[in-house]
Amino acid sequence: MGYSTLSTKHLLGIKYITADDINLIFQTAENFKDVINRPIKKVPSLRDVTIANLFFENSTRTRISFELAEKRLSADVVNFSAASSSVKKGETLLDTVNNILAMKVDMIVMRHPAAGSHHYLSKHIDASIINAGDGTHEHPTQALLDAFSMREQLGDLKGKKIVIVGDIMHSRVALSNIFCLIKLGAKVKVCGPPTLIPKYITSLGVEVEYSIKKALEWCDVANVLRIQLERMDIKYVPSLREYSMYYGVNKKLLDSLNKKIVIMHPGPINRGVELSSDVADSDQAIILDQVENGVAVRMAVLYLLAGNRAN
Amino acid sequence: MKGGKTILAKERFKLTVERLCHELIEKYEDFSDTCIIGVQERGVLLADRVIERLKVLAPKTNIEYGKLDITFYRDDFRTRVEPLKASSTEIDFLIENKKVILIDDVLYTGRTIQASLAALQDFGRPAQVELLTLVDRRFNRHLPICSDYTGITVDALDEAYVKVEWENLDGQDRILLFSAKRNN
């Protein structure tokens, strides 16, 4: 029986963890995937742990996924959403969190619109913090579950070709994916309209491809992202229709390739914009596998971080 | 880790496993509605050997065999310095109303068995559970748990450590007793 631990007390972003950490999370997630496919999907590991889910930004998948992961580990869970809280009355983030921690909470899962808010908190509180998305910065558990799902399809990701398509500029999923895939030795390209590709993205070790056809012909997996209209203060694309014509992934485009690639999407999908319905529902798309793996991967992260607290 | 004293080896080791198998055959005869569950990781090594021998000694029986990992059920999870890495659980049948023979190599504090019993419940309600261990350290128990089939009984101090080695993994079959605890 091997002993193993993460190099970190918090999961603030993929940038701050090592390839060994990622592989340990994957190994543990495989065990938890086994657990959640049993008739009784629950283990008692975290029965003495209380976790607060703080969502200062909207979420469906991530929030339910975290909550299920916590419950399947037998943790006690409290939920918080900014819309119905005292944040509206002018309370600061640190005050809000300290008040919650005063009620003896052990771990914090947080989503916040401000990039870096988790770093700020981690300097001021003792509890373990898991980043469930901070602005346009990172969304580490999404990247972990994406890479875990890719690994299920392709085996070891070393040397595998992955293209991330769409709104790279506003996507925390893209950034976390890039960090994660590069740490695992994959080759990564980003593809999208020039206005939505950050200028210095190549400094992260990725290549830029502006033609969706060429990008798809090159890759083994295409991770297609949503156009985040809510984060765009100005027009980055002339219209959604035009975006869809140039960068939308549809059946015709996929059929024109000489191989079958894997299609992924972190959700929520804008059907008919970045992904056509016939692709989203085809057997090439592993979107629902991603969602299933999300629970297992989050269980692994929670389990490993909770274990670390004994230090 | 050096300086271990061999307390059971070679022929006597083989005979002990053989005797345990005969005890099982005596009790279960055709092994109907019975399954053997090995506790990961080192309990599985003993369970593998028992299954291998039962196939020879009672060839007409068809015993269901599963492996149980109890990492997520341990009660010392958050008091350890580092979390334990899990192994796989391979039980592809329900144990509802079955007679379960739980197998582990060393029975020490009883906490592993307690966790195993908790984990077993997630696979159904067994009709009965019996415990088979190769080594019983009877004076070191933390819980009221005892073994139904015991290879050898070892009376040793709390600091001592008992290790069962296997031919296919460690080079030879033997049981070693160390005077100081293994440091992990």
Round the average pLDDT of chain B to a whole number and report it: 89
Which residues on adjacent β-strands are paired with residue B93?
Answer: none
Predicted pLDDT at A204: 95
Predicted pLDDT at B181: 61
pLDDT tens, B65-117?
Answer: 999 999 888 877 766 666 677 888 888 888 899 999 999 999 999 999 999 99
Superfamily of domain A140-288: Aspartate/ornithine carbamoyltransferase (3.40.50.1370)
CA distance B99 to B129: 6
- Domain chopping of chain A, boundaries: 14-139+291-308, 140-288
Predicted pLDDT at B81: 65
A90 burial class (0-12, 13-18, 19+ CB within 10 angstroms)? exposed
CA distance B109 to B126: 23
Integer angstrom CA distances of residue B106 from A77, B153, B158: 37, 10, 14
The answer to whether A170 and A228 are in contact (CB under 8 A) is yes
CA distance A21 to A16: 10
- Residue A57 identity: E
What lies within 8 Å, CB to CB, of B63 at 6+ separation is B31, B34, B35, B36, B51, B54
- Nearest CB to B86 within list A5, A31, A49: A31
- Reported ipTM: the value is 0.72
Q: Please calculate the CA angle B72-B74-B80 and round it to the nearest 5 degrees.
A: 105
Indicate yes or no: CB of B86 within 8 angstroms of CB of A4.
no
Please, which pLDDT band fits residue B179 given cuts at 50, 70 and 90? confident
Q: 3-state DSSP call for residue B136?
A: strand
* Shortest Cα distance, chain A CAs vs residue B3, angstroms: 22
Positive/negative CA dihedral, A16, A10, A3, B43: negative
- Provide the percentage of residues in chain B whose pLDDT is more than 90: 61
* Matching residue, tokens 């809280």: A85
Which residues in chain B have their CB less than 8 angstroms from residue A23's CB?
none
Chain A, residues 49-78, CB within 8 A of chain B, namely 49, 73
CA distance B163 to B165: 6
Mean pLDDT by 10 residues, chain A (311 residues): 76 96 94 90 90 91 95 93 74 89 92 94 93 95 97 96 95 96 97 94 96 96 90 82 93 93 93 94 95 96 82 45
The stretch B46-51 carries a mean pLDDT of: 94
- Domain chopping of chain B, boundaries: 5-178
Predicted pLDDT at A309: 53
Q: CATH assignment of B5-178, given 3.20.20.80, 3.90.105.10, 3.40.50.2020, 3.30.70.2190?
A: 3.40.50.2020
Please, which pLDDT band fits residue B126 given cuts at 50, 70 and 90? very high
Q: Do domains A14-139+291-308 and A140-288 have the same CATH topology?
A: yes
Indicate yes or no: CB of B88 within 8 angstroms of CB of A34.
yes
Q: Which residue of B has its CA nearest to A33?
A: B88
Predicted pLDDT at A69: 97
- Structure tokens that stand for A116 in this block: 């870096």
CA distance A231 to A228: 6
Provide Rg for chain B, Cα atoms: 16
CA distance A243 to A275: 11
Predicted pLDDT at B184: 45
Integer angstrom CA distances of residue B109 from B43, B132, B143, B175: 15, 15, 7, 18
Residues of chain B whose beta carbon is less than 8 angstroms from a beta carbon of chain A are: 40-41, 69, 71-74, 77-89, 94, 118-119, 121-124, 184
* Shortest Cα distance, chain B CAs vs residue A63, angstroms: 23
Element (H, E) at A118: helix A117-122
CA distance A181 to A159: 10
Q: Which residue of B has its CA nearest to A301?
A: B83
Superfamily of domain A14-139+291-308: Aspartate/ornithine carbamoyltransferase (3.40.50.1370)
A36 at interface of B, judged by CB pairs closer than 8 A: no
* Pair type for strands B174-178 and B161-165: antiparallel
The answer to whether B22 and B89 are in contact (CB under 8 A) is no
